């Protein structure tokens, strides 16, 4: 059997999806990045290797997420694509008629508008924590609740409580005020969920036509209180895919499959990549006024890749390096 791997490296989590030739999801893996993307990718590869039978062949691998360039060099990715593309491809694969994608992760959120299977518009929010999963985690911890209990409490709400949600600091202050005025915990938590959704729609979704089918993905999609708040606000069903938390990785794997079928080859370094010694380094180019920050990755004291310069003066494509090595 042939398989395809997708790796999504974000600031909070590193996710891997394993797909078969037909696009079925065989395995998924979620790890905390913890500020160490190289170690997270290597550990993820190691764990995936333990789950895969020896005779299974990796035909392709793709990367996405904020750490996609770094991960691409580490694993020898056949495709390195942005999150918008990866999430759209995964949603279209699982819900072919999808027209709106709502995605909320640990540190950012995005909306993707599709028409006839093509991305026509998108927006991202990477500034305010009030519209992300990190804010929910923080409030759950403050209330001494697991994030699962936090979500379930919202469903017990019987009265609407409005929480200021435009700013994480103001939202927390308002929560405390509502507690001190005697409102029940379920009502307050439901108010937080509705505040996060309002914040999302007023910022990320501003000016966008939310047409169905609507797919909700990202780690926060696990929170049924947020899902209910979305359905209440937009007044239509919100679909949460089975693998909502690793949709970026699924999209990366599908893109890798498409690319390797086109080229007939893969640059995957193999699972031995989890044992290699990678040395990242950066420097500022003084060649012009742009002062580009150039990122360099070395493997065994040899430059494997460089990127970040606008003019291409320093650029080193890891695929070209691997082609030369294979010919040698």
Q: pLDDT confidence of 93, banded at 50, 70, 90?
A: very high
| pLDDT value of position 160 | 75
DSSP string computed for 152-188: HHHHT--S------SSHHHHHHHHHHHHHTT--HHHH
Q: Which residues of 202-229 are buried (b: 16+ CB within 10 A; e: fewer)?
A: ebbbeeeebeebbbbbbbbbebebbbbb
Among residues 252, 278, 273, the alpha carbon closest in space to that of 36 is found at 278
pLDDT digits (tens, 9 = 90+) for 194-229: 888 888 888 888 888 999 899 999 888 888 888 888
Q: Which helix (H) or strand (E) holds 150?
A: helix 147-155
Q: Which fold has domain 2-89+248-274?
A: Nucleotidyltransferase; domain 5 (3.30.420)
Residues with Cβ within 8 Å of 271's Cβ and at least 6 positions away in sequence, in order, are: 45, 46, 48, 49
Say whether pLDDT at 107 is over 80.
no
Tell me, yes or no, if the two domains 2-89+248-274 and 96-240 fold the same way: yes
pLDDT digits (tens, 9 = 90+) for 132-183: 677 777 778 777 877 777 778 777 877 777 876 666 566 677 777 777 777 7
Domain definitions of the chain by residue range: 2-89+248-274, 96-240, 279-327
73 to each of 18, 59, 288, 307, 317, how far by Cα in Å? 19, 17, 27, 11, 9
Q: pLDDT confidence of 302, banded at 50, 70, 90?
A: confident
Report the share of the chain in percent with pLDDT over 70: 92
Q: Which fold has domain 96-240?
A: Nucleotidyltransferase; domain 5 (3.30.420)
Global confidence as pTM: 0.85
Q: pLDDT confidence of 67, banded at 50, 70, 90?
A: confident
Say whether pLDDT at 327 is over 70.
no
């Amino acid at each position: 059997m042939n398989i395809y791997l997708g790796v999504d490296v974000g600031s909070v989590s590193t996710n891997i999806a394993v797909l078969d030739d037909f696009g079925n999801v065989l395995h998924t893996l979620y790890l905390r990045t913890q500020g160490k993307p190289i170690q997270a990718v290597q550990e993820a590869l190691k764990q995936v290797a333990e789950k895969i039978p020896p005779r299974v062949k990796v035909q392709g691998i793709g990367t996405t997420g904020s750490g996609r360039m770094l991960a691409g060099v580490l694993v020898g990715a056949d495709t390195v694509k942005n999150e918008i593309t990866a999430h759209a491809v995964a949603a279209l694969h699982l819900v072919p008629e999808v027209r709106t994608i709502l995605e909320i992760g640990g540190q950012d959120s995005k909306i993707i508008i599709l028409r006839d299977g093509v991305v026509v518009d998108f927006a991202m929010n990477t500034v305010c924590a009030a519209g992300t999963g990190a804010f929910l985690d923080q409030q759950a911890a403050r209330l001494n609740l697991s994030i699962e209990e936090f979500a379930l409490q919202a469903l017990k709400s019987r009265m609407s409580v409005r929480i200021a949600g435009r700013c994480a600091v103001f939202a927390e202050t308002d929560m405390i005020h509502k507690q001190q005025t005697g409102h029940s915990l379920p009502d307050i938590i439901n108010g937080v969920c509705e505040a996060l959704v309002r914040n999302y729609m007023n910022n990320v979704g501003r000016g966008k036509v939310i047409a169905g089918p609507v797919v909700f993905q990202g780690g926060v999609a696990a929170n049924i209180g947020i899902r209910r708040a979305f359905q209440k606000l937009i007044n239509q069903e919100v679909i949460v895919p089975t693998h909502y938390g690793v949709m970026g990785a699924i999209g990366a794997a599908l893109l890798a499959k498409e690319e390797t079928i086109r080229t007939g080859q893969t640059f995957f370094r193999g699972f031995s990549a989890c044992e290699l010694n990678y040395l990242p380094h950066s420097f500022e180019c003084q060649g012009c006024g742009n002062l580009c920050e150039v990122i360099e990755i070395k493997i065994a004291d040899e430059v494997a890749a460089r990127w970040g310069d606008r003019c291409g003066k320093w650029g080193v494509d890891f695929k070209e390096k691997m082609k030369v090595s294979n010919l040698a």
